[in-house]
Amino acid sequence: MTTEAPLPDKPLPVIDAVTQPFWDAAAQGRLVVQACEVCGHRQLPAAVTCAECGGRALGWVDVSGRGVVHTFTVLHRAYHPAFADELPYNVSIIELDEGPLLLSNVVGVPAGELRIGQQVEVFFEPVDEGLSLPKFAPAEKRSSD
Ligand SMILES: [Zn+2]
């Protein structure tokens, strides 16, 4: 329908010095998590200190991009008008195989069929110049791209 007004742009992540490496990797199609160089703890979201030991020596490591749905909610109202065309959609917390939790969306699952514990795999959705969002799809339905 070309007569409809275009939807407003979706809000984009606010990127700062602490989270920049995460988004740089995502733009390259890599999922990374922070890794403490003192105790080995892996964490998301990025922080200036390790949530386990308080250490400040934090690096980044690539992870598999695989995990399970830890929990989710399904939105049936557009709390931001830019998402109106996607209703209903889920906001999910993915528990990565390596441990950290990541807030995202699972796509490719019919409304009402998403389940806690479902195996998912990351893919990256380009949304702006140099910016891609990590999203997830059912692991068994992913193509081998
Ligand atoms: Zn630590």
pLDDT per residue as tens digits for the range 75-133 = 999 989 999 999 999 999 999 999 999 999 999 998 789 999 999 999 999 999 999 99
State in Å: Cα 33 to ligand 1 middle. 13
Classify residue 100 by burial, with Cβ atoms within 10 Å: 0-12, 13-18, 19+. buried
pLDDT digits (tens, 9 = 90+) for 36-79: 999 999 999 999 999 999 999 999 999 999 999 999 999 999 98
Looking at the predicted structure, is the pLDDT value of residue 141 above 60?
no
d(CA 139, CA 93): 15
- Kindly give the distance from the C-alpha atom of residue 19 to the centroid of ligand 1, in angstroms, as a whole number: 18
pLDDT at 142: 46
How many angstroms does the Cα of residue 23 sit away from the middle of ligand 1? Answer: 22
Entry pTM? 0.88
